[in-house]
Amino acid sequence: TIERLRGAGCAAVHLTTLNLETTVSRVVERAGLVRAAAPAGSGAWVDDFPNGRWGDARSPAFGGDSSAYGALMVRFDADQARRVWGEPRSLDDISALFSGYVSGRVQSLPWCDEPLLPESQRIVAELQRVNGLGFWTLASQPRLDGVASADATHGWGPRGGYVYQKAFVESFVPGAAFPPLLSRLQSAGPRITYYAANRQGDFMTSAFSAGALPENAAVTALTWGVFPGRAVEQPTQIDKMNFLAWRAEAFQTWREWAAMFPPGDVADFLQRTADECWLVSVVDNDYKSADDGAAIWRLFV
């Protein structure tokens, strides 16, 4: 349809993401309108508001089978994958790959097409430490407390406003490291909220335990902003539904990466690692903390 419109002389096409950009990014790529679009959460081609997977799961646009818009998450072919990501055979190899990514030596991961965003430079030392310890970070953000919306690094939305966000980190956690991390997470509430799930579908969270809310009603805000003449904007949040939708895509990516190798030690290792690890998202609710969000990093030891 887009190609027919362009052929008929249409100069522009407006597509609405509804804070779920994956489907639209595939459409504009295949129509040749842009280069390969950025991964969920990168904010590289939607400028007004942070985009990505942490939208409102109650939206009619959210839900359904995530595989319908999450297929072929890995955009490299097998040769490119080996050249950029190597042939991991141990947990240390995976840790080295993720450490290389957060330090800038590796430009992408199977889960992320582009380098680390500038806003993460504030926490890059902590990201390097955490990945070196064997917690493989997929997404992160520093806390913000009233940063001008026009700020070149952290700003978004209309000018004249202020933006806020909670410190957040998401990582894959190897099976042996998950029980002690879970114990620390459970002891850190209510300041810390966590979501955790594995490939088999086991799920746990602290999001609704403290407030005795129904399981599907608890929502954890990540980013919000206040702007002249507008209600408070809350473009990114986590709840059970959107976390589990992303879990399906995240573990699908392990499968696709493993499938790039012939049957044998590398493919078997990647499949086994995916079977054993957990996806864990951690939020520090105290965005005004004097320790600049350090509480979240103390959990990873």
**Secondary structure of the chain: what % helix, strand, coil (to 5)?**
35, 20, 45
Cα within 13 Å of Cα(107), Cβ side? 7
Provide the whole-model pTM: 0.78
pLDDT value for 50: 54
Closest alpha carbon to 118 in 151, 159, 167: 151
pLDDT value for 293: 82
Which amino acid makes up residue 225? G
186 pLDDT band, cuts 50/70/90, is very high
Average predicted confidence (pLDDT) for the chain:
83
pLDDT digits (tens, 9 = 90+) for 155-178: 999 999 999 999 999 999 999 999
pLDDT value for 223: 95
Quote the distance between the C-alpha of residue 272 and its chain's center: 22
ω into residue 190 within 30 of 0, thus cis?
yes
